[in-house]
Amino acid sequence: MDLAIRGKTALITGAQGGIGLATAKCLAAEGVSLVLSDLDADALFRAADEIDGDPLCVAADVTDQAEVDALVRQGVERFGAIDIVVHAAGVTGAKGDPLELSDDDYEHAWQIDFFSAVRVARATIPAMRDRGWGRFICLTSENTVQPYWEEAVYNTAKAALGTFVKNLSYKEAASGVLCNTVAPAFVASPMTDGMMKQRAEQLGCTFEEAIESFLEEERPGIVAKRRGEADEVAFVIAMLASQHASFVNGSNVRVDGGSVISVQS
């Protein structure tokens, strides 16, 4: 299917791997110009080698508004405009008893998983609004509606992110800017690789056995008994960025293999 976005420009944060990189590849195949950003410049440039075309790579710290503004400015200077934002930057943050986690633990996740999206929105949405077209898509998580006890800092920040994007959607659509979220669950990525390596060490088992036991004990709703693939999430993101999704606004699209055992979105 032609997504009818050839010639548009997308800014992707968290682009060096996982869902961010898969989304970059998917959009590049649709003829979209790319502005790719992550914190690690070397890893970002290595990732860009896997993508068709000539993406602009800019290392930036999304916890700093000045760096976000400079990132967007460089994208506009190179391509003329930013039409699509895919905000995939995020961290799992500290884990443990919610009452024993420190203020700094909560603040770290808040700045990266929530407030970074506010900064990116400030830097991109007004110009989209002026041009009368735009897509603002953020990655949330299954944790926004099915929080896990030991992941309180992540749960809280991602839930706030979902609410923020919903809040934006109320008014921005009047100017042609559609705001949505995508909520993956247990997708193969550097983030879940790290989780499973840690689990394997704790249980004294192989990486594959750690995945199997995690699915059985922690994610029974994923009846396919496998991790999702980044490409499977990227396709949904690309559809939301397309012209064909022109009546999808303020939605949270779950790509979780059934992990959330609920009809709530």
Q: Residues 66-71: contacts with CB within 8 Å, 24+ apart? A: 68/116, 68/119, 68/120, 68/122, 68/123, 69/123, 71/11, 71/35, 71/37, 71/123
Catalytic residue, chosen from 106, 148, 154, 170, is 154
Q: Tell me, yes or no, if 154 is annotated catalytic.
A: yes
User: Residue 199 in contact with residue 232, Cβ under 8 Å?
Assistant: no
Q: What radius of gyration do the chain's Cα atoms show?
A: 18
User: Residue 192 in contact with residue 18, Cβ under 8 Å?
Assistant: no
* First CA to last CA distance, the chain: 26
Kindly report the backbone phi and psi dihedral angles of residue 154, in degrees, each rounded to the nearest multiple of 5, phi listed first.
Answer: -70, -45
Which residue carries 């400030």 as its tokens? 122
Strand partners, 177: 134
Catalytic residues: 154
